[in-house]
């Protein structure tokens, strides 16, 4: 990603990454660096599910990879998922390799060029652990 697109991605408060159709990371914002401990310079251009390693300690598809799959395939990987057009939204537990596990809300969408051709996908991840803990406290009281 060039110029202002990089600035926009870095401006976002939520951890965000973008992959191309080959699954190579083309954007990794500062919030993603904070969440994963992986710098953009260390991950940009890498494929083979390298972006999943900080989260799962293994190479595996993430939500950004699943946006083009049928609902049945997506449902095998996530318990609670919402499809809104071509966007997927999940609320899930994330084991975070080598770090404290978290509850997250994640959203992924395909990216299109001016001709309507899919060129990649974008995924945003928001930590909702504190919110979940508060909900549990309120439910118990």
Q: Could you write out the three-class secondary structure of 64-125?
A: HHHCCCCHHHHHHHCCCEEEECCEEEEEEEECCCCCCCEEEEEEEEEEECCCCCEEEEEEEE
**Rounded CA separation 43/15 (Å):** 14
Q: What is the DSSP letter of 44?
A: T
Report yes or no: 92 and 80 within 8 Å, Cβ to Cβ: yes
**Rounded CA separation 53/140 (Å):** 35
Q: Is the pLDDT of residue 100 over 80?
A: no
Q: Is the pLDDT of residue 2 over 60?
A: no
- Bridge partners for 16 per DSSP: 124
Which candidate, 82, 68, 52, places its Cα nearest to that of 119? Answer: 68
Among 7-11, 36-40, 47-51, 60-64, name the one with the lowest average pLDDT.
7-11
Cβ-count burial 67-96 (b if 16+ within 10 Å, e if not): beeeeeebeebbeebeeeeeebbbbbebeb
Q: Is the pLDDT of residue 35 over 70?
A: yes
- pLDDT, mean of residues 59-71: 85
Record the pTM.
0.85
Domains of the chain: 4-140 (3.30.450.20)
Q: Where does the pLDDT of residue 97 fall: very low under 50, low under 70, confident under 90, or very high at 90 and above? A: low
């Amino acid at each position: 990603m060039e110029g202002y697109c990089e600035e926009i991605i870095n401006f976002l408060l939520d951890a965000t990454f973008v992959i191309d159709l080959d699954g190579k990371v083309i954007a990794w914002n500062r919030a993603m660096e904070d969440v994963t401990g992986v710098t953009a310079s260390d991950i940009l251009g890498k494929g083979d599910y390298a972006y999943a390693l900080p989260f799962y300690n293994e190479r595996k598809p993430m939500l950004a990879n699943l946006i083009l799959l049928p609902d049945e395939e997506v449902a095998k990987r996530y318990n609670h998922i919402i499809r809104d057009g071509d966007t997927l939204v999940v609320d899930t537990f994330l084991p975070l390799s080598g770090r404290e596990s978290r509850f997250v809300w994640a959203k992924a969408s395909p990216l299109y060029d001016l001709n309507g051709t899919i060129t990649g996908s974008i995924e945003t991840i928001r930590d909702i652990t504190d919110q979940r803990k508060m909900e549990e406290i309120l439910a118990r009281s």
